[in-house]
Structure 1
């Protein structure tokens, strides 16, 4: 009988608390009413079970109130952390866009430089261009040969010694395979 009575009292106090939480109202006002001993206990001070129950309920109400305050504090901390993360994310996106712009600018500058260099080799005599290209690294020489006019490239390769021409041709073929 005693356990069912305590269960009913617990249920009686739990249902309003759940209803308040469910409707997202300010729960501190609700639980603050239980922090002070109710006037109903004035005549029950000689019943130890009633006093123990009232004390237990008051303690629970105080714990719930402290818990709700800590939840509110954590919500505020989470909101501040979220704002900080949004600011950091915006900053990182701006930096990323700046890096992409800089990379695109650098890539365009490199392409422009290579195009100018290719134009120079297009204007050179094939024998002179061949002499210079044989002294460059093979991958760089192959890149230039791939970009010059086909007729000019053929004349330059014809002016290079056969073993060097074979190596440059292989390098040009390997470049095409790597880019696929």
Structure 2
């Protein structure tokens, strides 16, 4: 009987060992919760890494775009400046603009000169019209004075004796004598014509008849 007790005593747990009962296996609900939590954590990690990559890609794109823009600007300007065709076109355009400006200036000068010439012509025309009017007045005055003088001479010749007036009319030109005789009274002119030389009287008569030939007859 003693050996059996010793054997039981040898199988007993040592004094330093824990006397807690063994842990129970996790249930199905606990396993499901653990699985869902791990999936959520993994998805969050993937999303975070994707956002980080996307942000870095955008930053790189902006950086490369700005660098390309800065590098492209001077090259484009250099191409525009160093392009021979563009420079020739610019020179032609500038030359045409200069020619147009010169033509406009010429047209402006010509228009001003034409305006001045028109003003001078108008002034000259006005002065000519005034001079013509003054001349017409002078001629009228002279004609009136001459007519008065002729009328006085006609009166003088009418009051002269035919024998005394005949030598004067013979010395006159036939046209001049015909003018005086045509303005004299018929009896006085007839007396003078009878005292003249027949050839002279005939010439004066022809001139007087020719003056009245074109007069209208009633």
Task: Give the TM-score band, short-chain normalised.
Answer: 0.5 to 0.7
Matched, 1:45 2:81: yes
Question: How far apart, in 2, do the equivalents of 1:143 and 1:107 lie?
Answer: 15
Question: How far apart, in 2, do the equivalents of 1:165 and 1:55 lie?
Answer: 95
Matched, 1:160 2:162: no
- Counterpart of 1:130 in structure 2 is 166
TM-score computed with the length of structure 1 as normaliser: 0.67
| Root-mean-square deviation over aligned CA pairs | 2.6
- How many Å apart are 1:42 and its aligned residue? 7.4
101, 113, 121: which one pairs with 1:65?
101
Question: In terms of Rg, which structure is larger?
Answer: 2
- Counterpart of 1:105 in structure 2 is 141
Gaps of 5+ in 1: 1-39
Matched, 1:76 2:76: no
- Counterpart of 1:148 in structure 2 is 184
Question: How far apart, in 2, do the equivalents of 1:138 and 1:120 lie?
Answer: 19
Gaps of 5+ in 2: 1-75
- How many Å apart are 1:135 and its aligned residue? 2.8
Contact 1:130–1:157 (8 Å) recurs in 2? yes
Contact 1:138–1:167 (8 Å) recurs in 2? yes
Contact 1:41–1:51 (8 Å) recurs in 2? no
Question: How far apart, in 1, do the equivalents of 2:82 and 2:115 lie?
Answer: 49
What are the superposed Cα offsets for residues 30-83 of structure 1, whole Å, 9 maximum, x if unpaired? xxxxxxxxxx97761122212211221121112111211121111111111111
What are the superposed Cα offsets for residues 134-154 of structure 1, whole Å, 9 maximum, x if unpaired? 232222221111110112211
What are the superposed Cα offsets for residues 74-128 of structure 1, whole Å, 9 maximum, x if unpaired? 1111111111121122122222222222222222221111111111112223332
Q: 1:115–1:87: structure 2 CA closer, same or farther, 3 Å change rule?
A: same
- Counterpart of 2:16 in structure 1 is none
- Counterpart of 1:94 in structure 2 is 130
> Greater RCO between the two (CA within 8 Å, min separation 6)?
1
